[in-house]
Structure 1
Amino acid sequence: MGTRHRDEGVTMAERPLVVPNPNDPRLTRRLKGLDQDRQPVLSDVVVERPLTLYLNGQEIVTMMTIGDYPECLAVGYLLNQNMLLAGDRISGIDYDEEVETVVVRTERVTNYEQKLSRKVLTSGCAQGTLFGDVLEKFREVKLDRTAVLHTRWLKTLLREIGTLPSLYLVAGAIHGCALCAGDAVILYMEDVGRHNAVDKIAGYMFLNGIAPHDKIFYTTGRLTSEMVIKTVQMQIPILISRSGVTAWGVELAERAGLTLIGRARGRRFLVLAGSERVIFDADAGEDAGA
């Protein structure tokens, strides 16, 4: 297994839409409880499970995750921590559900003992981490200046994301992230931590050769510094959330030339960085007033 070709010239209609499977019995559990009227009820809750990631025999991290798309999560985590490089060739990915481990093997010899000692605890739920050299690489990334977001796309995307199969609708306690091209959703991933959902998408993109330069990233979670850094690491030029933003997230977005849009709900949104990519045409076209 190796690096795939980028997807220039491939239409998104040719790619299958990847979404969570709310009917997967491994992802939720039905528990007994009492409601506000002290009546017994059965409620679906999300199952968290540990997943220990190894890179070429070296233990990297143990993540708490819902357990779907473990290979994508592993590869995306390594990419977003600069432990897996864009030119690396993956020789194998071994996932063992019984012992809750995933091993990524590369042709390049790796040793991250020193790097692993430089962790930064982030504001991400489920205690996300970044390593010391991530911000150094962040400063080197150049995002595509020709990418655009038509505001008429935004309403379509938000409506489509709201109708996708979702664990959140079944059990809550979940964050969702989507990769979009124009007004179409390509991938939608969920997990207990939004950083896990981001990493799943990063891993899927790498394994399937999806180019990032013209894509749009959407998340249900707040736009913190961690979310901005990961999006820039993935070289996606536009980041949207239905939630709010942090001041450092905006500052980092401005430094990187990332278009940052928060509080996107219905017709409302707030552009806080990179407004030059936004084409305000929501009132144009036959769908804009629907």
Structure 2
Amino acid sequence: MAQAGQSGDFLVRPDPQDRRLTAPVVGVDHTGAAVETRVVTERPLTIFLNSQEIVTAMTIGDHPDLLAIGFLRNQGMLAAEETITGVDHDAELGVVVVRTARQTDYEEKLRRKTRTSGCAVGTVFGDMMEGLEGLRLPDARLRTSWLYRLSHEINRTPSLYLEAGAIHGTVLCEGDRPLVYMEDVGRHNAVDKVAGWMFVNGTAPEDKILYTTGRLTSEMVLKTAHMGIPILVSRSGFTAWGVELARQFDMTLIGRLRGRRFLCLSGAERLDFDADPQEVAEEAAKHRRKGAGPDA
């Protein structure tokens, strides 16, 4: 895997200037004055595994190949040693087909799928726990100074959120270095794009941190566990089942990371408190996600 250099040297980062991902809309503001603003786009993407239709997700449309691969991997439909023989994307039809050397048949699994609490057609299958029984994630250390530097760097990186809002971000990190930054209208899609990137690049998860702007729900924890990442961090809050699963997997789960404050509800034994919170600046209002409460 290519290595990041100095802070801010992302391997993948958002492109807020990509006009395919936003659209201009005219409206009025609180004074009645006419305004034009840009809003993020949503378009359907239907994912096929070989000849079988799996799911249709609403997405902003970037990195469709990584989204498809990551989704299939996190649903247990692609094994870690899977051989992908091709990925075909038809932008006009909104279809991406992932082809594997192995024959696949997931009709029964598809019959058991259930809608989750996530936005943008987040989907989890009834047997998503398959392959996670007895899982204990690898040991890792997490310095609190890394948390503060990551939060500072990520919040100041040009992004679609800062351009248009109404979007979630997920960042793969190593130590205090953010490596891969993905965005989408659904937090699950953003995580799947990171998972797809890791699968394609053969990236080891044992020393990685996953940062997300979304809530720490059961599905977010399950996806992170499928990826083999031992530390999950968010600006937002928790659900009880998300915390329970994190404790079951021995995952470090940190939420409400804003400025100098955070809350760890699982895996606190991994923390090295090497930074004085009083020396950390509070988060500036312009870097807060608009309209986001502590559990957004």
The answer to whether the superposition gives a TM-score over 0.5 is yes
CA contact (8 A) 2:10 2:178 kept: no
- Which secondary structure state, in structure 2, belongs to the residue aligned with residue 217 of structure 1? strand
Equivalent of 2:70 in 42, 60, 76: 76
Tell me how far 1:209 sits from its aligned partner.
1.2
Count of residue pairs brought into register by the alignment: 279
One-letter identity of the residue aligned with 1:68 = D
CA contact (8 A) 1:33 1:41 kept: yes
Tell me how far 1:16 sits from its aligned partner.
5.0
Tell me how far 1:144 sits from its aligned partner.
0.6
Tell me how far 1:11 sits from its aligned partner.
3.9
Alignment TM-score, normalising by the size of structure 1? 0.92
CA contact (8 A) 1:175 1:194 kept: yes
Q: Percent identity?
A: 60
1:13 is matched with 5
Provide the rounded CA distance (Å) in 2 between the counterparts of 1:106 and 1:136.
20
Relative to structure 1, the CA distance from residue 139 to residue 23 in structure 2 (aligned partners, 3 Å threshold; closer, same or farther) is same
Equivalent of 2:267 in 271, 274, 279: 274
1:4 is matched with none
Equivalent of 2:230 in 227, 237, 259: 237
Provide the rounded CA distance (Å) in 1 between the counterparts of 2:89 and 2:14.
19
CA offsets per residue over residues 65-95 of structure 1, 9 Å max, x none?
Answer: 0000100000000000001110100000011
One-letter identity of the residue aligned with 1:64 = M
Asked if residue 175 in structure 1 is aligned to residue 155 in structure 2, the reply is no
Tell me how far 1:163 sits from its aligned partner.
1.5
Q: In the TM superposition, what are the counterparts of 1:142-153 in structure 2 within 5 Å? A: 142-145=136-139, 147-153=140-146
CA contact (8 A) 2:59 2:189 kept: yes
Structure 2's unaligned 5+ residue stretches are 282-296
Asked if residue 121 in structure 1 is aligned to residue 98 in structure 2, the reply is no
Tell me how far 1:140 sits from its aligned partner.
4.0
Runs (4 or more) in structure 1 with deviation over 4 Å come to none
One-letter identity of the residue aligned with 2:42 = E
Q: In the TM superposition, what are the counterparts of 1:88-127 in structure 2 within 5 Å? A: 88-127=82-121
Equivalent of 1:206 in 192, 195, 199: 199
CA contact (8 A) 1:141 1:233 kept: no
Provide the rounded CA distance (Å) in 1 between the counterparts of 2:144 and 2:202.
27
Provide the rounded CA distance (Å) in 2 between the counterparts of 1:252 and 1:127.
22
Provide the rounded CA distance (Å) in 2 between the counterparts of 1:139 and 1:186.
30
